[in-house]
Structure 1
Amino acid sequence: MLKLGATSFWEEFDPAKQGNAHLAMYGRPFGKSLCHAWGASPIYLPGKYFLGVKPTSAGYASWLAEPALGGLKWMEGTVPTPNGEIKIYCSTTEIRIRGSEGTGILKIKSSSRPVCKGAVIRSLTGNSYEIEIMKAKEYLVKYKL
């Protein structure tokens, strides 16, 4: 879609189609929506399931980030909130996270106790840990999967 000039997600995409056939749908030559509302799921799903960011109170006054790489080597993204954003980078050895509003909790699994300068790290059951993320402060967490 990008090679064909897309700036949003199309209703349907088949890379095998050529020329204006990309614009045809429903038996009409230009019947396809080129900014389809539920076509945005490719963007929504990584934020929800890989970055694991979700509100725990109204308007992200409190939130939880529970990244899960799912076999990826790294992942980076920004989750928009009503009054700012939550930025997170996660690899197999470190997490960088910053929330511009609210108080967050970063939940991770690590084979050894994670290290994060200036943060309180709480042990949970098994190999799970929690770190409180204060607004407007960037955290760098070193850990081992």
Structure 2
Amino acid sequence: MSLDPELVAEVRRTFDQQKAMSKVGATIAHLAAGECDLRLPYDITNTQQHGFVHGGIVAMIADTACGIAARTTMPLNMGILTAEFKLNLLAPAEGDYLIAQGRVVRAGRRLVVTQGDVFSFAGDKRKHIALITATMMTVEFQ
């Protein structure tokens, strides 16, 4: 199912308003109904003391990918806020770039349950570095 072009424009506009995403260098790599992939290039300013991308930034892009995936299931006058998430960090976040994939498991009127994965890419090697389950709540904007 393709997305309404107005919804795509709204999602991209609201993503661009997230100053945290621009600060770390994340971009939307894929957008479809109930799906979103974010790409984060490796940047030393996003690392912790051992040179790995900081776990907080991994959590941020995973949560945002799930939130955007949830947002694609809502009408234009609705928004999404994270109610809760659980993140498992599986391996250090290193490599050339990360991809955070969010997908909708079930979209209700008030709550949207999502899951996601974060992968690191180094050359032609892909490593699964994080797993997230997140519940988003819908909010209506006037």
Structure with greater proportional helix content: 2
Q: Same fold (TM over 0.5)?
A: no
Greater relative CO, 1 or 2 (CA 8 Å, sep 6+): 2
TM-score (norm. length: structure 2)? 0.31
